[in-house]
Chain A
Amino acid sequence: MMLQVSELDVFHGDAQALDGVSLDIEAGAIVAIVGANGAGKTSLIRTIAGMYKPGRGSITFKGEDITGWPSYRVCNLGIGQVAEGRQVFPSLSVMENLEMGAVIPRAKPHRARNLERVLAMFPVLKERAGQAAGTLSGGEQQMLAISRCLMGEPELVMFDEPSLGLAPAIVQDVLRTIRDLNRDGLTCVLVEQNVAVSLKLASRAYVLENGRITLSGTGEALLNDDRVRQAYLGM
């Protein structure tokens, strides 16, 4: 197992965001986590990334217990995240944004190679290298956010709502990119409200409701599950 989360409780003040969440992520998999707004998806991602401290439970990455580690150490182990809402740094240039992705020690030696790789993947970023990131279109910003994350030499990337607010055609591009990255060996965690698409893509999926995992299985099994079909697919 690449990442193991067990019995995770997370509180924001008095409110409980996660309640006994356990999940396993195998190396090379695409794991989807689906759920409604406020179900705890972002809390889960941020807790794994070390931005929130769990009240209980443990997180193990490649056999190492990383529970409660600060985010910069977690990052340096190879856990990256593409945060919700295309969080590029708007007044920094595209190139400066990319550089910001490679500040952790594990990424520095591979900076040039990773830069070449992401620019080959998204040539538009090369054209716009000197431009302020805030002036890019929504789709370009998402590409930049993904590229910036890849600059950090991650082994596992957690995508938080990568299709949020994007035009349908661009959503397809983004999801295709994630699939391609996965084929190249990147382990992906995909958090999406776009349930149908993410379940099709995923080898394994979890349904998160009110901070609890209520259902899990292969993506296909969940697609055919009556409860999922009713609650998330409107069928």
Chain B
Amino acid sequence: MIARLIEGTSRRGLVLLALLLAFLILIPFFVNDYLITVLILIFYFAFVGQAWNIMMGFAGQLSLGHALYVGLGAYTSAALYVHFGVGPWIGMLAAIPVAGALGAVIGFLAFRFGVSGVYFAILTIAFCEFARVGFDHFRWVGGSAGFFLPVAQYSVNDLWNLRGKPSMFYYVILGFTVAAFIICHLLLRSRMGYFWQAIREDEPAARALGINAFRYKMIAVVISAGMTSLAGVFFAFFYNNLFPEQVFHISRSIEMILAPIIGGVGTLFGPILGAVILTGLSETMHEILHLLGVDVPGAKAVFYGICLLVVIVALPDGVWPWLSRRLGLSERK
């Protein structure tokens, strides 16, 4: 498995990767909590971007409702924790099948009845909106008034219950991101990964060769949904409060696809690089505005819009394919 992981990667790339990982592991010892929080945000978006990328980047199915799976994961694990005292790691085992099952329902409706392209994207938005309205009236988890996890000042990190300092959350989300990267790498180089790419590039042609497109698209949706729900569990335990209007809002769905689009759809490093660029730059801009004493509501959205425009015009494949060529690393897209 390790051999498969590193095959096709240049020596230079491996060294860079190892240095980067060492740097990321050591960084919390040198920076303050604010910067750690920014890093957490970066890896959060890198992780959900990676999960979304399985559906869109690998299998070519555009989802604009991925906030649905984040929300399901968040509410499932939070409800288990608050109502039954079940910890987040067990909560994840519940969140994955819940999100995966709803993903399968959406996938089945779409792929069985030939809903594709833009119409598929609209269907994913619709389900996310259903969830938003539904959870607004779901009293058991607080409805529109919000759902709260008990918060206290923690002096020690309780990893089992995900209660603790930012640095602990940082290592958790870093671990998620690294695991997601490895899983995506293996998936993309697997037999199924090639089927996905064939479907993405030309579905009728893939079907003409005897690839069961329905089945592989379903698998992509379920894996992507399940993986995304883990981000939801993290979200719930990191922020400790959940409001349907926020969690399931369409801007959440859009936000999480920006990183892979800017970094490079269908690439492995794209979502990570995109998250670094977007979150890093937007936080920097926020700080600068703050220092200047300017408070512009919506500045972040405008900034995202500008980033998106620049990338689409200048580097339509995303930043990573361009950067990797410049650095002489190999990742064909």
Binding site for B on A (CB under 8 A): 46, 49, 51, 70-72, 74-76, 80-81, 83, 87-93, 96, 99-101, 103-104, 132, 145, 148-149, 152
Contact = CB atoms under 8 A, between A and B. Distances in A.
B205 interface: yes
Contacts of B205: 83, 87-89, 145
Interface stretch (B92-100, B195-203, B308-316): B195-203
A100 B332 contact: no
A167 B257 CA distance: 42
B202 A89 contact: yes
Given A75-B209, A99-B194, 15 more contacts: A72-B207, A72-B210, A72-B212, A83-B204, A87-B202, A88-B205, A89-B198, A89-B202, A91-B201, A92-B198, A96-B194, A103-B210, A104-B209, A145-B205, A148-B209
A76 B207 CA distance: 12
Contacts of B210: 71-72, 74-76, 103-104, 152
Contact of B207 (A51, A92, A93): A51
Contacts of A51: 204, 207-208
A83 B205 CA distance: 7
Chain B: number of interface residues, binned into ranges:
10 to 19
Contacts of A103: 191, 195, 209-211
A205 B79 CA distance: 67
B58 to A, nearest CB: 12
Interface string B146-172: 000000000000000000000000000
B53 to A, nearest CB: 15
Nearest to B197: A92
Nearest to A105: B210
Given A76-B210, A99-B194, A100-B211, A132 B202 contact: no
Contacts of A80: 208
Going nearest first, the 4 A-B pairs with the smallest beta carbon separation are: A75-B210, A87-B205, A104-B210, A89-B201
